[in-house]
Amino acid sequence: MAIERTLSIIKPDAVAKNVIGQIYSRFEAAGLKIVAAKMVHLSRREAEAFYAVHRERPFFKDLVDFMVSGPVMVQVLEGENAIAKNRELMGATDPKKAAPGTIRADFAESIDANAVHGSDAPETAAAEIAFFFPGMAIYSR
Ligand code: DGI
């Protein structure tokens, strides 16, 4: 199985709930290593750029409003099958549909405030990692 990297965001709702450590524990227990991390409060322009693929969707403004509502914790996760593994840990986009024991089932309130983001494919992972950590050292170990 290939070693991959994926971009993870702990969104403002989960940061406000003080569960960064609990979410990090789940990454570690699943064998995903945190190889870069920072806390940032996104500007509207940054949030719009990050979610540009959703620009035409009816929920775009709500999504951007939410993502700029407080600081987020952004990390690069590395490990075997990291992209799919992180998506499994996250659970479905709508927490009401997320499997028991997933991050969204346990920590998310709604489809708008759904606790975490994770890249969905190798191409988006590469682009999203470059968006948040351009030319920055990533500590593979
Ligand atoms: O990769 P995901 O975060 O699971 O989902 P996505 O890439 O399809 O959508 C990105 C975010 O946009 C998602 O985490 C929450 C929001 N979103 C997606 N679909 C809907 C939505 N928000 C609302 N209100 N309604 C939707 O149908």
pLDDT of residue 138: 84
pLDDT of residue 1: 74
pLDDT of residue 58: 98
- Cβ 93 under 6 angstroms from ligand 1: yes
Domain that residue 56 falls in: 3-137
CATH of the domain at 110: 3.30.70.141
33 a known binding residue? Answer: no
pLDDT tens digits, residue range 42-74? 999 999 999 999 999 999 999 999 999 999 999
In whole angstroms, what is the distance from residue 54 CA to residue 131 CA? 16
Domain count, the chain: 1
Please report the ipTM that was assigned to this predicted complex.
0.96
Neighbours of 56 (CB within 10 A): 7
**How many CA within 13 A on the CB side of residue 94?**
2
CA of 141 to the centre of ligand 1 (A): 32
pLDDT tens digits, residue range 23-34? 999 999 999 999
| Nearest residue (CA) to ligand 1, atom 14 | 93
